[in-house]
Amino acid sequence: MATYQLDINNSKFKVEVTEGTSLLWVLREHLGLTGTKYSCGIGQCGSCMVHIDNQPMRACLLQVDNFAEGQKIKTIEGLSKNGDHPVQKAWIEAQAPQCGYCQSGQIMQAVALLDANPNPTTEEIKTHMNGILCRCGTYLRIIKAIELAAASQSKIEN
């Protein structure tokens, strides 16, 4: 067992786990942050998407011992306290989720896109979201939600 200091959602956590434990299991099993979902476990679906220093990454592929002090981890729980992040609100407005299982990964990927490109084209959305799998096939609603969030954010900025 080893002890790790992690900065997650702007809070400091100290966890004691076996070396090589995935960040996904640290989040879910040791810290109770269950918004990050387990699905494939091999980095193919994107349901476990988190942000590491503002970059989207699959938590199932990351070992906790690879985190340097000072790296910032953000999970779906860290987007907003009340679920009122513009992307989360747009997700509800567009009725994007069906079963909802992939949605936290989809939302985290969409937030990363809009942080980097506040006004993406539909093609840019498709390219950026490619690889985050939705078994229910709600891709058109997901695209609509991202377009709504982008429009909402541009109104706030203007």
Q: What is the pLDDT of residues 17-76, one digit of tens each?
A: 999 999 999 999 999 999 999 999 999 999 999 999 999 999 999 999 988 778 999 999
Average pLDDT of the segment spanning 113-141: 96
Neighbours of 104 (CB within 10 A): 24
Q: List the domains of the chain with CATH numbers.
A: 2-78 (3.10.20.30), 86-157 (1.10.150.120)
> Whose CA is closest to 115, among 51, 24, 23, 49?
51
- Coil, helix or strand at residue 40: coil
Kindly report the average pLDDT of the chain as a whole number: 94
Q: Please tell me the predicted confidence (pLDDT) of residue 155.
A: 67
